[in-house]
Amino acid sequence: MVAEAARSKYIQQKIEWKGFEAGFFPKSDIISYENKWKNLSKAIQNSKNGSFPKIQLQNEDYSVRYVSKVADVKNDMALLLNIAA
């Protein structure tokens, strides 16, 4: 879980907010970010004008949501921006 927290600001904030001491158990939102990390990472790298083919994620209540723009996940990910010289 620590490795995922390093890659995802969303997971990091959930762990900090809920805390391991409080009996933290990841719900579907965190698990979907873990499982879709590779897909999201590749989609962001290959995005055109900030858009990519939609990827299915889940919310904490197990409802489905789709993301298709870098802006949709920018605040949830630990993005390392590469600015070409």
Write out pLDDT tens, residues 31-73.
Answer: 898 889 889 989 988 999 999 999 999 998 999 999 999 999 8
Indicate the pTM of the whole model. 0.68
Q: How far apart are CA 17 and CA 54, in angstroms?
A: 29
Helix ranges (DSSP H) in the chain: 2-7, 9-18, 28-35, 37-45, 70-73
Q: How far apart are CA 83 and CA 11, in angstroms?
A: 26
Structural domains of the chain in order of their starting residue, each with its CATH number:
2-73 (4.10.470.10)
- 14-34 residue pLDDT tens: 776 666 666 677 888 888 988
Q: Is 14 exposed, middle or buried (0-12, 13-18, 19+ CB in 10 A)?
A: buried
